[in-house]
Amino acid sequence: MEERTFLALVVFSSLVILAETIAQKHAIEIYSLHVDCKVTSRFAHTVVTSKIVNRANESKEATFEVELPKTAFITNFSMSIDGKVYPGIIKEKASAQKEYDTAVSHGQSAGLIKSTGRKLEQFHVSINIAAASKVTFELTYEELLKRQLGKLELLIKVQPKQLVKHFQIDVHIFEPQGIRFLETDSTFMTNELTEALTKVQNETKAHISFKPTIDQQKVNPELDETLLNGDFVVRYDVKRDATAGDIQIVNGYFVHYFAPREMPALPKNVIFVIDRSGSMAGRKIEQTRDALLKVLRDLRPEDHFSFITFNSKVAKWKSSLLQATPENVASAAEFVQTLLASGGTDINCALLTAVSMLDEAEGLPERSVSMIILLTDGQPTSGENNVEVIQENIQKAVNGKYALFCLGFGFDVSYKFLEKMALNNGGLARRIYENADAALQLQGFYQEVATPILMRIEMQYPENVVEGLTKNNFKLFFEGSEIIVSGKISNELDLFPVEIKAQSRASNLTLKEEANVKEKELVFQNQSYIFGNFMERLWAYLTIQQLLERAVSAQEEDQRSLEAQALELSLRFSFVTPLTSMVVTKPAGQQQTELANKPTEADNEKLRMYPVGGVPAKLLTTRYFGMTSEDDLGAYRLRSGLSGGNPGTLQRQSLASQGAPRGERRISTHAVVAVHKVSMQQAEGIPHFERLGKKMQGMTPQTSTTLEKPFISGRWHAESQPSSNKKLSVGARLRDKVRVQPLANEYPQLLLQLPQQNEIICLNTDGKAQPSVHLLSDLEQGLTVTGKLGDRTNRFVWFEVTYVNPPVRVHVSTAEIVLSHNNQSTRLPWMESATSTVQGLRVSVEKERGVTVSVSDTVTVKVSLVKVPEYFLGLYFLNTNHFSDHVSGVLGQFYSKAQFEKNSSIHQRDDERLLHVSGSDHKATRQYKKDYRLESINDPISCWAIDVTP
């Protein structure tokens, strides 16, 4: 069997991976690898050349992979095999697809460009190499570098996977404005490799070369393993004057760069609209909380802000926007830490509420920027769920007054929906990838839009002189970014005038500049760093990008016209864009035709329209039932009658199984349910099936999905006819009046969220016989909490919170709050809101609702006053990351290394788990309880119920 070798070189913003899987080590040798990048006025032209030889005595197959930025366009690819060149040909996508389909009909397969991450996409092609033969791969792509946070960055990630005799990276930079700073960095650099790095720089040019020898590449002299595995980074920025920017002209084309500096920031009024539906549960909501806490710290004192959270319901944090004072920011931080995920997704109502809040806002700075930042991870499933209607509603409500930024978390979200909605309203959309750094992605996006310094920017050029002008009106300009406008000068001019009008924090600005055409063109003559007609290609690149962006939000007829213009430019300048493809032809006898299509962000989504005849089980469970983890699915199965096996199995409950003794509990026979499209009237009143017919857009009354599994009964109430083994439609089940709901009519004694886990614990303790229950002690925090259970309610009727520093005791009962310090007491009644501070310890009472006890940089203690069925108190904590590893007590032990046992038994029920705490195992049962926390919107919460002994 022929052995297989795999080669890849990754370059990101010149990112190339040349990796290999080797059965016979280095049978295919990379004897030369060169990455040559020329950056001229931000426009980067990158050529990756890999030369290999087959040292084996038989043919080998190699795969050449180049990962390039998603913002780049491939312009050329070729393979040279023993002197014969096989070029890639760029064609209209439909034409290329037809050629590919012909090849596929003859049994040949295709190689594709595919997305490999949030910033990269991968070009790949495979070829058989005869014994002793040589092949040269060469790929060229171009992109316009985007300035972010005051820097232009070129990241080269190198992983050749073997020692390369001639390895070289060259980065040439030419910036006529002058290079303000230039730096290099690397994750794999050693003292020996540093000697292979050279940097030559003058006022406008820089050349960075990295050319390690074989010996310098080695991990150690005895091993033929390479050190070259990591990031090689070049960062720079250009010099800027406080003028109307810089104009550059070459061969009748111009580009205008505008990025003013040292201007005061405009105050911003920002509403964060946060999805807290069930599919956000787990890591997503945790990362969202982390990011929002950091964002709050970045707010300026003159900014105003608020939060709107939504699932099937929309909740305002406050009734209006608040100024970003330290007190308001601290209050917001407490709120953010309580965000939990459950329920559906009502995007329409949430955004309309945000717009209404901005419309009604009073006391905002006269010259300020108002924006809405939406974070969601899914499709609308509650309220209005027609995305086109939502887009129209939001555009009509915003009416150009505010900027809308849409962040899509993960791949269950329709990026097209968010992108169109954002572009329609002066903002942009971005996907947040579900990686470990998702919180950093969220924070990074906010930093890009955190400092607006200009608004309503108009870039004006002489009429009847400029053709093909790119976008020249901009709603906002953010510090650290850059405005770029390009076009063609149609008439001969000596002077090219430019005028910029904008609004700053202090006044209306008018900036003027005149460029001497002949002098500007001289700048680029006889420059070795220039590649061909770069200015014209820069204009074409920018024009195509903007035409495709405009097409997203255009009506169908306009969309066709915009795409036709973009296609014409793509073919004329040989760019692989979403409208074109590259056809790669290989030698006879091999898989001759491979097709390279450029994917769009929307192409990467896992979410698809529902197939006729069925609903994907994952979509049912993650979006409509509001659950994501297996634990949540298990709980939901019990609540809604789903079986314990396949997520997506709808199951009728067998009443015969209820009430059977443990171990003798009977399981119903398999019940089969056909899921059909149902009407709005049919769905009324049925939990989690409301408007199901509208949600399952791909289904018809004639199509169904048959799903089958046994039901395991749990603590749920149902009214149902006896189960049947007949296939029943949802309509039939509705007529049978199936009602399945959780018995969430009880509050837990104690409630806590496990640290760094999106799991809630409901504790019950039998401590009535004791004068008090020792709930929590943390010597490092100097904090102790005790409590007393009532004789009649079996709920806590008082808590006592004691601090060492400052020496304060806070006694909270259902009658009053008593603050004791130095043998003096202060009584705070529940009948009025009040705040008392002792040596930095703050006790705040919210009238007839709750009390908060807080000290800077320590855990915050909160107690809720609950009136139903009888008065009792609910205890919980915020900022629990401040607990030490030695926290103890009935409640405290759960904040120290509590860990669920992994599901190891095939017989273990979905609603039961073991929790290891302080060397003991606690049996946990999934239940639904009422939430007594002040921040709760009174939705039932899913928690793991545990009984503990004081």
What is the mean pLDDT for each group of 10 consecutive residues in the chain (950 residues)? 40 42 64 92 92 90 83 91 85 80 56 71 85 91 92 83 91 93 89 90 94 91 86 89 86 93 92 93 89 92 96 94 95 93 93 96 92 92 92 95 93 88 92 83 90 95 91 94 94 89 92 90 73 86 95 90 93 91 81 78 54 36 35 36 35 34 33 32 37 38 36 34 41 39 69 82 80 90 92 87 92 92 82 74 85 85 86 89 88 85 60 84 87 72 85
Residue 160 has a CB neighbour count (10 Å cut-off) of 23
Q: What share of the chain is helix, strand, coil (3-state, %, to 5)?
A: 20, 40, 40
In degrees, rounded to 5, the angle at the alpha carbon of residue 945 between the alpha carbons of residues 944 and 947 is 140
Judging by DSSP bridges, how do beta strands 28-40 and 304-310 pair with one another? unpaired
Is the Cβ–Cβ distance between 846 and 934 less than 8 Å? Answer: yes
Paired residues of 76 in beta bridges: 140
Question: What pLDDT does 233 receive?
Answer: 83
Question: What pLDDT does 43 receive?
Answer: 94
Is the Cβ–Cβ distance between 653 and 668 less than 8 Å? Answer: yes
Residue 437 CA to residue 775 CA, distance in Å, equals 36
Question: What pLDDT does 744 receive?
Answer: 55
The label of the residue with tokens 């996907």 reads: 431
Question: What pLDDT does 464 receive?
Answer: 85
Residue 930 has a CB neighbour count (10 Å cut-off) of 19
Residue 42 CA to residue 236 CA, distance in Å, equals 10
* Element holding 15 (H helix, E strand): strand 15-17
Residue 94 has a CB neighbour count (10 Å cut-off) of 11
Q: What is the three-class DSSP state of 298?
A: helix
Is the Cβ–Cβ distance between 441 and 408 less than 8 Å? Answer: no
Amino acid making up residue 67: E
> What is the model's pTM?
0.68
Cα–Cα distances (Å) from 850 to 111, 672, 791, 865, 937, in that order, read 62, 48, 22, 5, 15
Is the Cβ–Cβ distance between 391 and 420 less than 8 Å? Answer: yes
Question: What pLDDT does 631 receive?
Answer: 36
Residue 25 CA to residue 33 CA, distance in Å, equals 18
